[in-house]
Structure 1
Amino acid sequence: MKRIPIMAFVLMAGQTFAQQRLNNASFMHAPESVATDNNSYYIADIGEGANPTKKDGNGIIFRMNKKGDHQVLATGLDAPKGAFILHHTLFVADIDKVKGYDITSGAQLYNIDLAPATAFLNDIAAINDSTLVVSATDVNKLFLVHLGKNPRAEELVYTNPIKGTNGVVFDARSKKLYVCGFGSDNTPSGQIGYIDMNAAQKVFTPLTNRLGYYDGIALTDHHTQLIISDWVAFEKKGVLLKLDLASGRVITLNEELIAGPADFTLDAAGNAIVPAMLEANVLKYTISK
């Protein structure tokens, strides 16, 4: 296999911006992921106890409006993560299942079982109108989930495994699947990189040699930069990073540190909507383009 070039990085303080708490009350337990249809925010909450792998039935999906008012969309989940909206359906990764809910009624539409291949599904993205990709943090793998009348899942085979496979986002223009990892053995050894989905032999190619506890990842609307969240530590030390795809340069965006920046999303205006999992809030950050 060819040697993979690793771009140099520069970690530096970037522009700073104030954070805004979007929820007007403390109603969440452990929000791990948020998605938006630009009218409402859909929050996947692991539930009381914040155990990401326990089948305890206390996971909740909240819908919150832009005023910060909330209502329960669905209950009875175990530890929902990886919220993603496709075709009016909110998909979440719930331990070993991919579940889908109508974003208006909350009716459950999908319940796709990936056990025993994994017990820690994490993030979700769409490859096309009928195919999802979901990360499995515990086994350092990615799975393709094919929707339709008879949904099925298959492993996405690639070389150069990603430790603690976590955040995923797909660029339909370049056909690159960008992935970041949370690391392994309780060490911040996660990487940021991509897989060329057009390639016959798929390889995970790192974009920087900066390592971290990486969680969420998003692509800016001009397709030239990635935004990534890094917990840094299991306390209020988390950061949002911007990685320039052309140069590999990495800068830190926030000045005020975040308590567990989990799987975030970018809204239509380019704001980062970030669940601060350890303090049970959802925060908004304005990112200049």
Structure 2
Amino acid sequence: MEKMKKIYLALAVISGVLSANAQNFKKVIGFNHIESVTHDDEFLYISDIGVAMKPTDKDGDGKILKLDRDGKIVDANYIKEKLNAPKGLTIANGVLFVADIDKIIAFEVKTGSKLYEVDFAGETTFLNDIIVWNDTTLYVTATDKSKIYKVDLSENKFEPIATDVEIKGANGLFADKENNRIWVNGFGANSEANGVMGYISLADNKFSAITPIEGYYDGLYVYDGVVYFSNWMAFEKKGIIASMSLIDKKVKTVELSEPISGPADFTVFKNRIIVPGMLDGSLNFITIQKESLYIH
């Protein structure tokens, strides 16, 4: 595994050198610790876990901010409900779902008012990414438990998916309804970069990896026939975004003008990858380009 990690580190350095003059990278700073970003047709919404980098502390200083599409704050107190360390966000049918330590909380997008919640107390203290499967079903990762939970909103209950392999530090999710599968990655366990990247078939709950390289994987998104996924690389400014074409299955690094400090749960909007830098409180906008470096 050490060899694979060295390969990835070398690629991150090479990628930074090759893209030093890139003009399609924009960085917005001034936030605390952004973990997730999502969007509707007009605005961006980000989760900020608070002043301290304490993702499991119930300290009451978490926020959801509403931004315009270029990262300018529209409403710094968009959600009035007390939040602790909000992480994963997703929007569907006018509802914003927020993962906050041991709860999933639903808010009306239009008003920011709370609608209901699903309580995971006693089950986990690190709910992370969320995806909507249909009107009554969500999936959410519990990073501390290395599990993915299926949530039944109609009955306000949940159960873990029994996968054939453990997804260590289960983190990012993406719903691939057309192929009846969930894309997932892991941040790793025991502070090691031993997370995996791939998908789970909901027909048999079997996991298929798309790369043998392990890492501190976090966000992921499928857009225009390409799977994008983030890897922190280290707990400093070394993070990268990788991609894999669903046609040729080749993995590449996305061209960046600088590494990202803790590239967390990102989204793609208007042909731009919008990535939170969780360690330095930045929001990074990357225009999607075809050219990048291949990882063989």
The answer to whether TM tops 0.5 is yes
Pair 1:261 & 2:260 matched: no
Pair 1:156 & 2:161 matched: yes
Unaligned runs of 5+ in 1: 1-8
Cα contact 2:65–2:73 (8 A) shared by 1: no
Cα contact 1:22–1:66 (8 A) shared by 2: no
Distance 1:51 1:152 in 2: 27
Out of 69, 73, 80, the residue aligned to residue 69 of structure 1 is 73
Which range is displaced more, 110-119 or 178-187? 110-119
Cα contact 1:13–1:251 (8 A) shared by 2: no
Runs of 4+ in 1 over 2 A off after TM superposition: 9-18, 244-249
1:19-34 paired onto structure 2 within 5 Å: 19-22=25-28, 26=30, 28-34=31-37
The alpha carbon displacement at 1:21 in A equals 2.5
Distance 2:186 2:41 in 1: 27
The alpha carbon displacement at 1:254 in A equals 3.0
Distance 2:85 2:235 in 1: 19
Pair 1:232 & 2:210 matched: no
* SS of 1:138 mapped into structure 2: coil
Unaligned runs of 5+ in 2: 1-6, 291-296
**Counterpart in the other structure of 2:144:** 138
User: Structure 1 length normalisation: TM-score?
Assistant: 0.88
Q: Deviations over 1:164-222 (max 9, x none)?
A: 0000001111111110000111111110011111x2x311121110111000000013x
**Counterpart in the other structure of 1:147:** 153
* SS of 1:139 mapped into structure 2: coil
Distance 2:209 2:248 in 1: 13
Distance 1:90 1:50 in 2: 23
Distance 2:179 2:261 in 1: 33
**Counterpart in the other structure of 1:242:** 243
Pair 1:84 & 2:109 matched: no
Aligned residues: 272
**Counterpart in the other structure of 2:100:** 94
Distance 1:171 1:288 in 2: 23
Out of 171, 180, 195, the residue aligned to residue 175 of structure 1 is 180
The alpha carbon displacement at 1:247 in A equals 4.2
Distance 1:66 1:182 in 2: 28
Distance 1:110 1:287 in 2: 36
* SS of 2:159 mapped into structure 1: strand
Distance 1:110 1:157 in 2: 27
Distance 2:206 2:122 in 1: 25
Distance 2:171 2:122 in 1: 19
Paired amino acid for 2:273? A
Q: Deviations over 1:79-112 (max 9, x none)?
A: 1001100111111111111111111211011211
Pair 1:202 & 2:208 matched: no
The alpha carbon displacement at 1:279 in A equals 1.5
Pair 1:212 & 2:210 matched: no
**Counterpart in the other structure of 2:40:** 37
Which range is displaced more, 13-22 or 129-138? 13-22
Which range is displaced more, 13-22 or 58-67? 13-22
Cα contact 1:92–1:100 (8 A) shared by 2: yes
Distance 1:229 1:91 in 2: 22
Paired amino acid for 2:137? T
Percent identity, aligned pairs only, is: 39
Cα contact 2:35–2:264 (8 A) shared by 1: yes
1:48-59 paired onto structure 2 within 5 Å: 48-59=51-62
**Counterpart in the other structure of 1:108:** 114
The alpha carbon displacement at 1:270 in A equals 2.5
Cα contact 1:208–1:248 (8 A) shared by 2: no
